[in-house]
A and B are shown apart, each in its own frame.
Chain A
Amino acid sequence: DAGVTQSPTHLIKTRGQQVTLRCSPKSGHDTVSWYQQALGQGPQFIFQYYEEEERQRGNFPDRFSGHQFPNYSSELNVNALLLGDSALYLCASSLFDRDFHGYTFGSGTRLTVV
């Protein structure tokens, strides 16, 4: 049973460019959340997608956007990259119900902005 799959594993981009990160949730999960983890910090919540809609959003600018597809997979897009966007981007999947059992995380995409 495959867990959460993220691609690519590593990425180097130049300031001002745009990037798209991809996530396939664990089989049976319908909700995808994205987190940004700077070096030495805990993961910070970016947003969550369920039924192809953004359901919750953390304190991130509009440069960060996302999408969820009918098969529950998701993309995270970041426009106008800044050096400070360099981080590990984590995708987590779960079931969107009241009896929340927690997330399954992927191993992340390491984004470096130069």
Chain B
Amino acid sequence: DAKTTQPNSMESNEEEPVHLPCNHSTISGTDYIHWYRQLPSQGPEYVIHGLTSNVNNRMASLAIAEDRKSSTLILHRATLRDAAVYYCILRSTGANNLFFGTGTRLTVIP
């Protein structure tokens, strides 16, 4: 599986947008980009995923660069409950599992 690179940590003020970057320069044309987050004392939870086009759901937006070598998870208005470790993961088409890196620890400042 292709590797992703994320900053170890980021901070954001409450009620402001957050942009979490992910680099994946070795991504192949059939790799999906998945984002999960893990709140304290919980298992990871699905946030969003995409292939080529930008994606929106009730939790977040995923912006994918035109060359697909990077992507950004956007939280439109950070709340204290968004404080978590965010994982960016590549999954090959047809693969039925996910391999996690160390993620980005997001701290939300009141």
B-contacting residues of A (Cβ < 8 Å)? 4, 31, 33, 35, 40-45, 48, 50, 55-56, 90, 92, 94, 96, 98, 100, 102-108
Contact = CB atoms under 8 A, between A and B. Distances in A.
Interface of B: 34, 36, 41-46, 49, 85, 87, 91, 93-103
A21 B9 CA distance: 32
A41 B8 CA distance: 11
Nearest to B92: A100
B41 to A, nearest CB: 7
Contacts of B87: 42
26 contacts: A4-B43, A41-B102, A42-B85, A42-B87, A42-B100, A42-B102, A42-B103, A43-B100, A44-B100, A45-B98, A45-B99, A45-B100, A55-B96, A56-B96, A96-B96, A98-B93, A98-B94, A100-B91, A100-B96, A102-B36, A102-B46, A103-B36, A103-B98, A105-B44, A106-B43, A108-B43
A41 B42 CA distance: 14
A25 B98 CA distance: 17
Contacts of B45: 105
A37 B57 CA distance: 28
Contacts, number: 56
A43 B36 CA distance: 11
A40 B99 CA distance: 16
A33 B96 CA distance: 10
B49 A33 contact: no
B60 to A, nearest CB: 14
A103 B46 contact: yes
Nearest to B39: A107
Contacts of A42: 85, 87, 100-103
Contacts of B97: 33, 45, 48, 56
A105 B42 CA distance: 9
Contact of A107 (B41, B46, B49, B102): B41
Contacts of A102: 34, 36, 46, 49, 98
